[in-house]
Amino acid sequence: MRAARCMLGLAGYLAFCPGVGAEEKHVWTLEHVAALRSVSEAAMAPDGSAVAFVLQVPRIPYKDEDGPAWRELHVAEAARQARPYVAGKVSVGDIAWTPDSSAIVFLAKREGDEHRAVYLIPVRGGEAQRKVTHEEDIEAFSLSPDGHRIAFLARPPRDKKKKKLEEKGFRVEVYEEDWRPVKVYIASLDDAAAKPRVLDLPGSASELHWSPVDDRLVVALAPTPLIDDHYMRRKVHVVDAGSGRVLARLDNPGKLGPVAWSPDGRSLAFISAADLHDPREGRLVVASASGGPLTDVLPGFAGHVIAFAWQDADTLLYVGHEGVGSVFGEVRRDGSARKTIVAAGEPILNSLSLSRDGRRAAFVADSPAHPAELYVMAHGDRAPARWTTTNPEAESLRRALQEVVRYRARDGLEIEGLLIRPLDARAGQRYPLILVVHGGPEAHYSNGWLTSYAAPGQVAAARGFAVFYPNYRGSTGRGVAFSKLHQGDYAGREFDDLVDGVDYLVAQGLVDAKRVGVTGGSYGGFATAWCATRYSERFAAAVMFVGIADHVSKAGTTDIPWEMYLVHARRWPWEAWDWFRERSPLYHVEQARTPILIAHGKEDPRVHPSQSLALYRYLKVLERTPVRLVFYPGEGHGNRRAATRYDFSRRLMQWMEHYLQGPGGAPPPYELELDLRALGVEEEGEEEENPQREQDPREAAAAGPGQRAPAAPARR
């Protein structure tokens, strides 16, 4: 039974897996991180009686068939009373309740499905029923007010003639022309045999919501499904669900976030960029559903709105990230009567779902003590209450102190960051530092859970490192003006902020200036490469992940050229060749003395793998510093699969320990030593018991609140 129990995730890993010493059971390890569960979606029932949520369950490296985390459907009716409805080897998403709160509708590709379909499962018992299918994956959906129809997004079926040609070997790709737009379809939930009806709309659809009072839809349309158009050119349209006629078009500028109808169907609210050059959507905007001007209802908000919901036809509730905290607030549709319900602090709220009467709210939230969990708040409560504990055994693990740090950059600008001190740090002792740089740069770190496969956090702290997460200029969370401070200044003051943060921690007596490492992905990978070349004398180790090495070739190989131009560079290479070259790590490669590990997904469309290959090749030929390049076949801009995530986390820590705590010199062995028994993996020849499987909702109901159902035969 040992292996079966080890498959239960973090709890099983801590409680049953052999090969883990007593001391390892009380501090964070990479294996703990690999097994962490988290809540990723939450939907409050319209009548407020329960909350449906999606639980992400990672696959165990070396044990399970590789892939991304499973996504299970659970329902909670009270704190600590969650129960699984669709569990096991499933991938549930886009959850929603029927208007009468009797059932949950969701997307999944289950046994026998060729494509992702729409399912419905009754809350009070019964099998999940497949309701709507399509010849391609259904990407999103919205229910009609009466609950009998559904609008969904999907690509049109592939051309049969082309499919036959492909079977004969004619698999050509005409780059950025061979695409199919995402269309809006209308289908019946009552008649599975009825063929969905497609609406002839201009462009490619994404965001989709049915009006709560009639047959109108709000749809976000971009000229093409290309990611650059999705980022920069989506516009809000109001469409008649019967005829497909466009009734109104709103002129929202730049990037676009979630959209929602007011309960009376008269207004629309959405999260928008302030202008075409705003790096990130974060303004809460209201407009008439018939068109007309947009009203920013939180003008001057020194943060970024990340979620909202209509409480009634005149009132909006919103969640904003402000600094390194989050705020829950209320505002009228005209921007008046703004009120803070929960001030910035912990936990970090990341979503919002309301009951129909607006008196109960569900959130996904994390904190320095735990990854994302389900939180619920009722009208009159002082703060959201935590309803789930998805990693109960993690409560016993010792955590290092996490604190907010503020320091002055060399030009006087105040910069915020988050510091995780070494576990059991002693006053007067200096420690090695790992600087973790976020991507974007239109992103930020909040004072929540900071440990992941690509950010060592508590794991590194348990091994004697300090870990620092700076929100350098260009980060979100501090308003539009702050997020624009990096524009037209690649690797300038934005990355000076990183070095200034290191200097601050050195001046505080915590960090050993000779033992500083840096890591980050995407734009954070660019920062890592810059620190390892232009600022090489300041860094003793670097781990670059899907990072940028050469802005000239990056501009010509990325799938987001207009986004890079409009909200980052603000110029094209042919307008400033020398500037693009000089702001590239490759230009400074002769200065590099920092040992650097480079890792990249081989199918990355955002930052082409050639960026990493070029940096590796230059450094390899120069022979002035240790360098290693790791490619991950099948991965894109960041790792999704359990095996590649665990592999990268192992290599990251190995590199940092070797060069910041160990002997340094030549790189450590490229083959990782594996303790399979510590992961709960059976030795060859041992029998596997109780393999993971998809769980029938009736078994889940029989298991009782918060428990898994008894073992049953595996199904294929």
What is the pTM assigned to this prediction? 0.91
Sheet holding 235-240, edge to edge: 204-210, 216-222, 235-240, 246-250
Tokens 């770190």 locate to: 445
Residue 392 backbone phi and psi in degrees, to 5: -60, -35
CA distance to 323, 413, 472, 623, per residue, from 590 (Å): 38, 31, 26, 10
CA distance 39 to 449: 13
CA distance 324 to 405: 10
Buried b (16+ CB within 10 A) or exposed e, 466-481: bbbbbbbbbbbbbbbe
Phi-psi category of 513—alpha, beta or left, where left has phi over 0 and alpha has psi -120 to 50? alpha
Helix (H, G, I), strand (E, B) or coil at 161: helix
Helix (H, G, I), strand (E, B) or coil at 178: coil
Q: What six digits make up the tokens of 265?
A: 């169907």
* List of the chain residues with pLDDT < 70: 1-25, 675-716
Instruction: Count CA within 13 A, CB hemisphere, residue 353.
Output: 24
CA distance 309 to 318: 6
Decide the pairing of beta strands 183-188 and 197-199: antiparallel
DSSP-derived secondary structure letter, 274: S
CA distance 133 to 146: 20
Burial class (CB in 10 A: 0-12, 13-18, 19+), 624: middle
* Cβ count within 10 A of residue 313: 14
Q: What six digits make up the tokens of 577?
A: 């060749």
Burial class (CB in 10 A: 0-12, 13-18, 19+), 13: buried
CA distance 339 to 341: 6
Burial class (CB in 10 A: 0-12, 13-18, 19+), 713: exposed
DSSP-derived secondary structure letter, 15: H
* Cβ count within 10 A of residue 76: 22
* Cβ count within 10 A of residue 102: 15
What residues form DSSP beta bridges with 30? none
CA distance 575 to 79: 58
Dihedral in degrees, nearest 10, Cα atoms 106, 204, 321, 476: 140
Angle between the N-to-C axes of helices 493-507 and 523-533, in degrees from 0 to 180, rounded to the nearest 10: 70
Give residue 643's pLDDT.
95
Reference 404, options 445, 460, 439; nearest CA is 445
Is the distance from CB of 705 to CB of 84 less than 8 angstroms?
no
Dihedral in degrees, nearest 10, Cα atoms 188, 192, 197, 198: 100
What residues form DSSP beta bridges with 329? 318, 340
Q: What six digits make up the tokens of 24?
A: 């390892």
Reference 446, options 591, 338, 565, 306; nearest CA is 306
CA distance to 108, 318, 680, per residue, from 305 (Å): 29, 7, 42
Name every residue whose Cβ is closer than 8 Å to that of residue 280 and which is 6 or more positions away in sequence: 255, 273, 304, 440, 442, 443, 476, 483
Is the distance from CB of 301 to CB of 283 less than 8 angstroms?
yes
Residue 623 backbone phi and psi in degrees, to 5: 55, 40
Helix intervals (H) in 7-153: 10-16, 30-34
What residues form DSSP beta bridges with 73? 54, 86
CA distance 674 to 468: 28
Helix (H, G, I), strand (E, B) or coil at 568: helix
Residue 296 backbone phi and psi in degrees, to 5: -75, 110
DSSP letter string over 480-528?
HHHHTTTTT-TTSHHHHHHHHHHHHHHHTT-EEEEEEEEEEETHHHHHH
Decide the pairing of beta strands 256-261 and 82-86: unpaired
CA distance 452 to 520: 12
390-396 CB contacts, 8 Å cutoff, 24+ apart = 390/37, 390/38, 390/39, 390/55, 391/9, 391/10, 391/11, 391/36, 391/37, 392/11, 393/10, 393/11, 393/13, 393/14, 393/15, 394/10, 394/14, 394/32, 394/36, 394/370, 396/14, 396/25, 396/26
